[in-house]
Amino acid sequence: MDNLAALQQFLTTPKKIVITTHQKPDADALGSSLAMSGYLKKLGHIVQIITPTDYPSFLFWLPDNQAVMVYDKNKNHDKVRQLFLAADFIIALDFSQLPRIAPLDEMVLASKAKRLLLDHHIGNTFPADFQLWKVEAAATCELVYDFILLMGHKHLIDIPLAECLYAGMVTDTGSFKFESTSSKIHRNVADLIDLGLQVNKVQRLIYDNNTEQRLRFLGYALSQKLTLLPEYKTAYFALSIQEQQQFNTQTGDTEGLVNYALSIAGIRMAVILIEKNDGTVKMSFRSFGSLAVNEIAEKHFSGGGHKNAAGGKSELTLAATEQKLLALLKEYQATLQSCLSFGNYESQV
């Protein structure tokens, strides 16, 4: 961070701080926000986390989660706007493009507060006064950990903070298996364990916290809705509104589904298409190796993200979006065939 000394100076007196993160926060977004909030509260600052939308219930166990304010146009618009306008400092975590926090983006720009960005997504256009932006970081939680160390405050990391940080680190690396998994993040986790973190507790709270309904929905999607296209080394799901209603799916229930498609031996790209209430289609992409799904998402589906994990959306119907995807696969067939192989040990589809 270039101007760390100026930031340290700025934070020597108590400030009113708003922390915000992207729509539909995941464990990295929420974990980094809660860890940063917990840390800054220890320094005597007044901190409010504001999320642009709700988030899945499997994250409700995160320490201090009840203090998060979820923006709701009909319930707290004026209050949220006032908090942004009155803030001395706004901290943006786990996103670096303002549309990802809509409709809070307008409030960030309207506020006179100084801004700090900590993020690991490509395509940073966030107007920050201070930033720790590292695309090679595996998680924003890794950057929050780095930030606390840069500030010289490692001794302030207690077990609740460590749990929040680990939640983002373990999920954004797919339990330390994605390409982004570095020796550094393993060392960071080792440090957190030395501070008293119980990794089994956090892993169970995140991964062994399914509702029966979610598991039955997963079973339905896997048995009825998974389409394999061996010629493109691709697997995908397309889920209609009716199907989601039939299983009464909640925020977060479709999360992770796309990874099951990618777990099939020989598959290089997995996609999930989810029809939304407004008729648009939300898409998630996953890939292995050199196939940059963020480019596909950005070029064709108004989205973006990381090389091997990206999101997008489509204004077309679910069926038309599916057709558009299938047509695109031809264009990427050569890359899909060659993008990664572990040689003869990888099963062929």
Residues that bind Mn ion (CB under 5 A): 28, 94, 140, 172
Exposed / middle / buried, residue 324 (Cβ in 10 Å: 0-12, 13-18, 19+): middle
The minimum distance between CB 258 and Mn ion, in angstroms, equals 16
The residues near 43 (Cβ < 8 Å, ≥ 6 apart) are: 11, 153, 156
The minimum distance between CB 97 and Mn ion, in angstroms, equals 13
Structure tokens at 142: 């890794």
- Beta carbon nearer to Mn ion, 118 or 239: 118
- Beta carbon nearer to Mn ion, 28 or 163: 28
Please give the radius of gyration of the chain, using alpha carbons only, rounded to the nearest integer.
Answer: 20
Owner of token pair 């930031």: 7
Residues 91 and 131 sit within 8 Å (Cβ to Cβ): no
The minimum distance between CB 28 and Mn ion, in angstroms, equals 4
The minimum distance between CB 172 and Mn ion, in angstroms, equals 5
The minimum distance between CB 208 and Mn ion, in angstroms, equals 22
The residues near 346 (Cβ < 8 Å, ≥ 6 apart) are: 265, 266
- Beta carbon nearer to Mn ion, 38 or 174: 174
- Beta carbon nearer to Mn ion, 28 or 275: 28
Residues 184 and 192 sit within 8 Å (Cβ to Cβ): no
Residue nearest to Mn ion (CB): 28
Residues 348 and 264 sit within 8 Å (Cβ to Cβ): no
- Beta carbon nearer to Mn ion, 49 or 239: 49
The distance of Cα 223 from the centroid of its chain, to the nearest Å, equals 27
- Beta carbon nearer to Mn ion, 172 or 322: 172
- Beta carbon nearer to Mn ion, 32 or 321: 32
Task: Tell me the C-alpha distance between 140 and 312, whole Å.
Answer: 20
The minimum distance between CB 94 and Mn ion, in angstroms, equals 5
The minimum distance between CB 240 and Mn ion, in angstroms, equals 29
Q: Which long-range contacts (CB under 8 A, 24 or more apart) does 216-223 make?
A: 216/247, 217/247, 217/249, 217/253, 218/257, 218/260, 220/247, 221/257, 222/260
The H-or-E segment that residue 236 falls in is strand 234-239
The minimum distance between CB 169 and Mn ion, in angstroms, equals 10
Task: Tell me the C-alpha distance between 328 and 94, whole Å.
Answer: 29
- Beta carbon nearer to Mn ion, 131 or 244: 131
Residues 274 and 281 sit within 8 Å (Cβ to Cβ): yes
